[in-house]
Amino acid sequence: MSTAPSSTAPPRLPSRSQRSGSAKTSPVRDLLALTERPEVISFAGGLPAPELFDVEGIRAAFDAALDSPGVLQYSTSEGDPKLREEVARRYTADGLPTTASDLIITTGSQQALGLISTTLLDPGDTILVEEPCYLAALQTFALAGARVVGVPYVGDDLDLEALERLAVEHHPKFFYTVPTFQNPTGRTHDLEARRAIAAIAQRRGFRIVEDEPYRQLRYSGDALPSLAELAPDHVIGLGSFSKVIAPGLRIGWIRTTADIHSSVTIAKQAADLHTSTIDQAAAAHYLVSGRGEPALARILAAYAARRDAMLQALPSTLPDGSTWNRPDGGMFVWARLPEGMDATSSLASALTRDVAFVPGSSFFSGRPDARTLRLSFTTYSPARIREGLSRLGATWGAGR
Ligand SMILES: Cc1ncc(COP(=O)(O)O)c(C=O)c1O
């Protein structure tokens, strides 16, 4: 056979997958580059306050973990048994009976979203999400090839009639919800809505993926039952220590239903064999050390004061005719500018005054609401929040 050089161009390399092109880039990550200058006050990121990390307690937990060399070895895909027991104990104390065998530890709850998608979705399958929705969940679902349909809100309440209608129309594999202090809106489904969502899932035969990273960040109001309590066979629960201990630990988990437990475990094995053994062991030591409760109490007190500082300053910050909510917890306030205004163009002028927020548009799976914006209140002291909001107010002529 001749191997003479050919004069034709070499064949083009195969293109990337259609799925990889369907996920949007995160504006929060893009904005981080613009807001890195120390003079910028950024309400854009959903960052926990680093000065509230219990560094001493976490250092002691890593020291204790390293007493056993086994923590540097490969381990089981389901995760550290002690850590799973501690997480299960906390669920049970919170009113949701759980055993360690119901749990799979993941590398942050972000990985849990990917594992659930791998386990449940084939390309072209439909899922329902809240509209607007956590952006990195939308990215994960797009990469899984899902057809994503948004369930709208009426004011601050999920449109339950729309949920049922869309379920009948689309036969979704699951409904993804962040029921408590949602990202991006800070909204919480009340008890009546939770009962209705659980009943619709049971009636129409779809699963619920209940993502709860903010559940423990409650500053006012009473705790509500989780959806998993209301529809135990239909709900897959996701949890995380990112917002209550530290995101750098990358410890999350899935509370699976029995029918998918072994499939999720295989997906986890294929993804990364297991979450870092040393991080898991340190997290387990930290939980039993008793240091987590006072550290969380400090976080709750500080965030409550920061939320209040933001809520007090918003009337003199946002233009007349704006609306915003008053979340009982979490990290975010969701605001809407008056008719005719656009949050993305407002951001451009805000950045010239060294202050930032995230326009709401990118959190929508369908037609975006260009008037919306997300403000995070957890990163700065109340004084710095007031300073940032006063700069932001100047963007709109001091709100007038
Ligand atoms: C709703 C929601 N789910 C999941 C995550 C991912 O959290 P992690 O992977 O740090 O546990 C976040 C992070 O902001 C989030 O807001």
For the chain, the average pLDDT equals 94
Inside any domain, residue 63: no
| Percent of the chain surpassing pLDDT 90 | 87
Confidence of residue 17 (pLDDT cuts 50, 70, 90): confident
**Residue 29 clears pLDDT 70, i.e. is over it:** no
CB 373 within 8 A of CB 341: no
The candidate with the shortest Cα–Cα distance to 161, out of 170, 151, 171, is 151
Q: Are residues 308 and 164 in the same domain?
A: no
Domain span at residue 141 reads 69-289
Q: 254 C-alpha to center of ligand 1: Å?
A: 13
Confidence of residue 190 (pLDDT cuts 50, 70, 90): very high
Inside any domain, residue 240: yes
From 107, 110, 182, the mutation candidate for ligand 1 (largest count of ligand atoms within 8 A of CB) is: 110
Residue 304 belongs to a domain with what CATH number? Answer: 3.90.1150.10
Inside any domain, residue 174: yes
Beta carbon of 184 within 6 Å of any ligand 1 atom: no
Mean pLDDT in residue range 272-300:
97
Of 4-18, 35-49, 239-253, 280-294, minimum mean pLDDT range: 4-18
Each residue's pLDDT tens digit, 147-165: 999 999 999 999 999 999 9
From 109, 129, 133, 217, the mutation candidate for ligand 1 (largest count of ligand atoms within 8 A of CB) is: 109
Q: Are residues 37 and 94 in the same domain?
A: no
Inside any domain, residue 13: no
> What 8-state DSSP symbol labels residue 104?
E
Q: Which of 289, 304, 329 is the last residue of a domain?
A: 289
Each residue's pLDDT tens digit, 46-66: 899 999 999 999 999 999 999
Residue 255 belongs to a domain with what CATH number? Answer: 3.40.640.10
Confidence of residue 399 (pLDDT cuts 50, 70, 90): very low
Q: What is the model's pTM?
A: 0.94
Q: Which of 289, 313, 345 is the last residue of a domain?
A: 289
Inside any domain, residue 312: yes
**Residue 286 clears pLDDT 90, i.e. is over it:** yes
**Residue 182 clears pLDDT 90, i.e. is over it:** yes
Each residue's pLDDT tens digit, 191-244: 999 999 999 999 999 999 999 999 999 999 999 999 999 999 999 999 999 999
Work out how many domains the chain is built from and give that number: 2
Predicted local distance difference test score (pLDDT) of residue 45: 86
Confidence of residue 276 (pLDDT cuts 50, 70, 90): very high
Residue with CA closest to ligand 1 atom 14: 46
Length of the chain: 400
Q: 135 C-alpha to center of ligand 1: Å?
A: 10
Q: What are all long-range contacts of 288-291, with beta carbons under 8 Å and residues at least 24 apart?
A: 288/82, 288/86, 289/57, 289/60, 289/61, 289/64, 291/54, 291/57, 291/60
Beta carbon of 376 within 6 Å of any ligand 1 atom: no
Inside any domain, residue 28: yes
Beta carbon of 210 within 6 Å of any ligand 1 atom: no
> What 8-state DSSP symbol labels residue 329?
B
Q: 11 C-alpha to center of ligand 1: Å?
A: 42
Q: Are residues 280 and 348 in the same domain?
A: no
| Percent of the chain surpassing pLDDT 70 | 96
